[in-house]
Structure 1
Amino acid sequence: MLNRHPEYQYLDLLQQVLEHGDRRIDRTGVGTLSVFGAMARFDVGAYAPILTTKRVYWKTAIKEMLWFLTGKTNIQALLKENVRIWTDWPLARYRKETGENVSQEAFEKRIVEDDAFAARWGDLGPVYGKQWRRWQGPDGRAFDQIAGVIDALKNNPTSRRILFHGWNVAEIDQMALPPCHMVYQFHVAKDKLSCLLFQRSVDVLLGNPFNWAAGVALQAMIAQQCDLELGEFVWVGGDVHLYLNHLEQARLQLTREPRPFPRLVLKRRAASIDDYRIEDFDVQGYDPHPHIAAEVAV
């Protein structure tokens, strides 16, 4: 058991949700099987937990993380990087408010090409990046939580307060989607940086693999900026669920044997946390099983 592949933490969770999940109707109307409370932990100094039992498009996940770090909240910047994972929410709003049954492709094209249209229809509200980099206090001051984390890691690394989060109660109702990956907490021991990510809600088939890849990329960037090695990545899930239209895909994934995890390497040291680009990331030795397609529930 000591040599059991760490990806079985994910596969065991899939199995648990399939066998013991509470069947419920969710806000999307699709329905889920849900369990409450889960944990996984990985030695990211040795490998990156990018799933091998299906292909994970890790560049898309990291591009999203880099977008969060900019503090931007409009999908135009994402679409220019060919990242389409946030389009569903503004597209649904556009169709509802205008009555125009525009195709996703046409909507995205207009967002990219028309700045005024993008400003009106492409903004997601004060989602992740805004809270991480420009959390607004009651006196109107903006707080850069990421800068605060890096400063604390450099100057007070044994603090138990090194964290940032996105659950700004005053602005939840303005967000296209309230933050699912809510809290990132950091811990330094023996010059190694560990990260704990708490998710209040996780789509275990589609969202979870992306969140792990992006979270480890963030951990690697912050560690490099603070001259630390990588320790553990610890993930904690609240409501962990499979959508009812993902069950066959989950069963398929469970038939596959994990392959060796890859390594995530930063090819250069960026000048600051704001200076990383997707070209700086290299995932070495990634040999996954084929991609498994599934629909996002909106």
Structure 2
Amino acid sequence: MGAVDLRTGQVPTWNTLSIAEQTLIRAAVSGARLAGTIQTYGAAMRWAGMPGVPPRSYTDDEQCRLVPQLADVAMTLATGGLLSIVRRRHLRGEGEVLLSGEPLRHVLAEPANWIWNPSSANDYTFRAAQQLRDRWSADVYPVVDTADFPAWEQLSREQREVLVCAAESSGMLTGAFGIWTDPPSELQGADRQAWIEEQLGPLLFFVRAGLIEVRHFPDDSSDAYSVVPVDALGQTLADPAVRESEDWGVGVGCVFTYDGLAVWRNAWSGGWNSRLRLD
């Protein structure tokens, strides 16, 4: 599609935007970091059923190859007056807004700014113009029909726990910081597997409904992950090397898909926010 520019009246509908444009608009509305955006784009492509998207995070090399495409989209949106990028320095407040032109083009052209790095001195975040919020916030946060889903009060405690986990930034199910305990050490063989399958039960409905994606994070020094298919969950979670870790962010976690996030906001978040407890 052509350049998106509200000042010229060229305002496409949400469904005519590319997935890259939708990804950056979502990032701007939520104030997301530039670093990690390409991984978010990959997930959006996967959830949209686009061919050739791997069931895992992108490697650094794959992200670097996608930088020119995403940078062009971001530059177009910025030139159209729809978003800007704020440079934040650690412990130094908000920082400066990078407008269109060479400073912004330079930031967007540098692959290191798009790839997650916890030790980076610079932290670039998206900011949405009010015109962008006015035009697309209802699409970023859609109202959906949730009549086919159980009410918060009808969910089991374990199901609620899984939903809250997916809504949190860490989203870890296993590991030292996960919501699930490990199987008792005395259980072996079929008894251990049966225990794991029972623990999985509250999660399965949401995964099969396409509301939650389950991921294995093997390393705390990167944002790499692989998607765990629903039929492989039992086998994956039976592996102590996968689920048992003392490191932050290592193990099996879960995230809402965009469909899941819409259902969470419209059907369940109110029940959680009004109580902030599972019972």
Q: Same fold (TM over 0.5)?
A: no
TM-score (norm 1): 0.22
Which structure has more strand as a fraction of its residues? 1
User: When you count helix as a share of all residues, which structure comes out higher?
Assistant: 2
Q: Which has the larger radius of gyration?
A: 2
**TM-score, scaled to structure 2:** 0.23
